[in-house]
Structure 1
Amino acid sequence: MASTIALQQAPNTVVMVRPHHFKSNPQTMADNKFQTLANNDNAKYNAYNEVTAAVNTLRSHGVCVQLFEDLLGNTPDSVFPNNWFTTHHNGMLIKYPMLAENRRLEYRQDIIDAISDRYSVTEHVDLRHYAEQELFLEGTGSIVFDHPNRLAYACQSRRTDTRLLQRVCQYLHYQPVVFDAFDNAGVPVYHTNVLMCVGTRFVMISMDMVAEADRDRLLQYFNLNRQQLIWLTEKQIQRFCGNAIELQGTEGALLALSQTAYNALTQQQKLKLEKFVKLVPLSIPTIESAGGSVRCMIAGVHYPE
């Protein structure tokens, strides 16, 4: 029986990883059209500083950031911890199977131990072995959770196996909402969280990229849950406008997004969002060359201490 306790969408505590050897990942380049090359010493230096500045900004707004260092040289995407684990209100911690072999090296027991020591983790679910069967599900890259409404949105791709999604939803007592989405060249969107951001009272999404057969169904969910729709263009998706996350600070809800995304939003879109959240842009152009943005950098902690 699913719990009747109201779930919060926006965490006030997050996990982030600061990279010391940042570079583009050749193993993810094939299906990540957002990715560009960045493999020099300047990229390492800039990515380190971008994470440092982002952490300081979030902390200045009252977000509790648990920051971990990545000193390894063989984990180019370590700055994106949201793909390999998620935390949940029911006390569960889930670890996920990732497509790229070098991304599986990002799993860190010290991070799991630190979370388990401080917060109320009651159950560990490890799905990583499914990678051996060529089945993948990449955390909150693949899944965009709507926690208050117990929904799990996911667009189908190589990185998002719907059978594993069903299993996660069974663990959490959530309903899966599976759909298709493509860019203007017909290439499937590689991660759901570059296409859409679900906040407590709003949804940012490019409905033009959603398969026509799935649009009405998604709109029905948004309307039923009384969420303001912020309709993004594909060009705005390419500028990472969908890759944002609602967080809880000391002065209320905020939306963490990149400076790139903030600059690409229209004034009307910003005004709509500011009815619900304070916009907090973070400058991370080097990190965005890896094909992810602010949402990918943040793993929310949904436990009480």
Structure 2
Amino acid sequence: MVMQTSSNILMVRPANFGYNEETAANNFYQQQDQRTSLEIRDLARKEFDGFVSLLRDQGVNVEVVEDTENPVKTDAVFPNNWFSTHPNGKLILYPMFSPNRRLERRKDLIELLMKKGYQIDEIIDLSFFENDGQYLEGTGSMVFDHDSKSIFACYSVRTHPFPLNYVGQLLGYEVVGFHAVQEINGQSSPIYHTNVMMHIGRDLAVVCLDSIPKASEKQQVQKALTKAGKKVIPITPKQKFSFAGNMLEVSNDGGEKFTVMSQTALDSLNIGQIQLIEKYTTIISPSIPTIEKLGGGSARCMMAEIFLPRMSK
């Protein structure tokens, strides 16, 4: 059986972290900052290093990869968007909306995984979808429930139905596609990434159901999660804006489970929500305000799970 959580996580230490004009067009979580690029980079690195330490302190194996100075990649700290790995030895490369984010796809990073003893039998490159303006940004666009073989995804300019269904067929997973929106300056806009409003762990699902306007789609999502045996924790749109949907469940070699969310996300939750999460897992909450503010992404986006088998010695 495929496990929902991994004890091996890949994270990319930023070299040129900063505000990305291209992605800001539809990522309304990004905010500009007046500090110098050097100050911002140093703060981002400090937050990154602190985050890695928290995970390692709990026995989670973190493979840290240094970002390359050139070409400049402001969002390299969010590797979950450009690839995913699977227990059958497959590694999938995804089509990215922003041209400057396509530079994040690194062959040397894949080779590094193999050098560290992870078995990659097949690389499936879906970047050809970019030629037709079709995008699917990895586990930002898709929230996997490996236990029930389901993919949850809200459609947006970064998540198109065709590549989404393609991945579903590739993995033999059922696709639960829906529309989700948020109010920005009084205007209703599609939520650009599913992992902004939804998290699925082994026993829990955290989801902003209020962001799904169509009753039939809301019901479909709820039904699929309940059928998969998940305890659903609803969050409010306000909590979603504090990255409360951007969580990831990880484990350590001892089988302990942890729900990773930023301090911002944790601060937005109420006592009941926290107690429910802690009933099943231990919370790890790094403080990453600079990365959240300028990058518009949070804790989950910084972690790419490694589900690959280990090479036999």
Q: CA deviation at 1:250?
A: 4.3
Partner residue of 1:43 out of 21, 40, 45: 40
Could you tell me which residue of structure 1 aligns to residue 284 of structure 2? 280
Superposed, which structure 2 residues align to 1:102-181 within 5 Å? 102-117=100-115, 118-181=117-180
Could you tell me which residue of structure 2 aligns to residue 3 of structure 1? none
Superposed, which structure 2 residues align to 1:223-262 within 5 Å? 223-250=226-253, 252-262=256-266
Q: CA deviation at 1:155?
A: 0.2
- Aligned residue pairs: how many? 300
Could you tell me which residue of structure 1 aligns to residue 309 of structure 2? 304
Contact 2:90–2:308 at 8 Å: present in 1 too? no
Task: Summarize deviations over 1:9-30 as a string: whole Å, max 9, x none.
Answer: 1100011001122111000011
3-state DSSP of counterpart to 1:183:
strand
1: distance between equivalents of 2:6 and 2:156? 27
2:15 equivalent to 1:20: yes
Could you tell me which residue of structure 1 aligns to residue 67 of structure 2? 70
Task: Summarize deviations over 1:89-109 as a string: whole Å, max 9, x none.
Answer: 221100011011100011111
Could you tell me which residue of structure 2 aligns to residue 198 of structure 1? 200
3-state DSSP of counterpart to 1:116:
helix
3-state DSSP of counterpart to 1:274:
helix
Q: Structure 2 length normalisation: TM-score?
A: 0.94
2:269 equivalent to 1:271: no
Task: Summarize deviations over 1:18-51 as a string: whole Å, max 9, x none.
Answer: 1122111000011001111136222111001111
2: distance between equivalents of 1:72 and 1:137? 26
Partner amino acid for 1:94?
I
3-state DSSP of counterpart to 1:27:
helix
3-state DSSP of counterpart to 1:208:
helix
2:296 equivalent to 1:294: no
2: distance between equivalents of 1:223 and 1:143? 18
Stretches of structure 1 that go unaligned for 5 or more consecutive residues are 1-5
Q: CA deviation at 1:115?
A: 1.7
Query: 214-223 or 235-244: which moved more?
Result: 214-223
Q: Percent identity?
A: 37
2: distance between equivalents of 1:119 and 1:169? 24
Q: CA deviation at 1:304?
A: 2.4
Contact 1:196–1:205 at 8 Å: present in 2 too? yes
Stretches of structure 2 that go unaligned for 5 or more consecutive residues are none
1: distance between equivalents of 2:40 and 2:122? 38
Q: CA deviation at 1:82?
A: 0.3
2: distance between equivalents of 1:72 and 1:232? 38
Could you tell me which residue of structure 2 aligns to residue 221 of structure 1? 224
Partner amino acid for 2:269?
L
2: distance between equivalents of 1:71 and 1:84? 16
Contact 2:15–2:41 at 8 Å: present in 1 too? yes
